[in-house]
Amino acid sequence: MDHQGIIEEVDKRLSKYKRAFKVEKISLARKVDDIPKGIITIDGALFSDFDGNCYAVGVIVDGKIIVKGDSGRGARYNSLKNYVTLYKNNHPEDMCIAVILSEDGMINVIWD
């Protein structure tokens, strides 16, 4: 998702309906010590661009269901798989990638 796509998504839908906390741009590429403490422990997704700039935290990834879920996977995986597919359907020119860090230690990358 590019910078403008993120801002539009956060402003027009996610913040408006209390599905995310919009934040001033935070560079996740900085030294770890410079990132605000606790930002990665907030429940929900982080929305960032490909330069590592974060624009929203605590994002509840929702939307119209358009892909079949996998009952063997958790809510994070299924919600983000659906969200990436829905975003790409609505913004075919943009790139959208999700990285899922599961509590069991599994890491998945989803793109469409």
Specify whether 21 is located in the same domain as 44.
Answer: yes
Confidence (pLDDT) at 22: 76
Question: Which tens digit of pLDDT belongs to each residue from 17-60?
Answer: 777 777 777 787 765 666 666 666 677 787 888 888 887 888 87
Specify whether 53 is located in the same domain as 107.
Answer: no
Query: Within a 13 Å sphere around the CA of 12, how many CA atoms are in the beta-carbon half?
Result: 6
Total domain count for the chain? Answer: 2
Quote the CA–CA distance of 53 and 25 in Å, as a whole number.
6
Specify whether 50 is located in the same domain as 9.
Answer: yes
HEC-encoded secondary structure of the chain: CCHHHHHHHHHHHHCCCCCCEEEEEEECCCCHHHCCCCHHHCCCEEEECCCCEEEEEEECCCCCCCCCCCCCCCHHHHHHHHHHHHHHHHCCCCCCEEEEECCCCCEEEEEC
Specify whether 54 is located in the same domain as 67.
Answer: no
pTM of the model: 0.68
Specify whether 49 is located in the same domain as 77.
Answer: no
Final residue belonging to a domain, choices 23, 41, 60: 60
Question: Which tens digit of pLDDT belongs to each residue from 64-88?
Answer: 778 888 888 878 888 888 888 988 8
- Domain with 78, as residue range(s), is 63-112
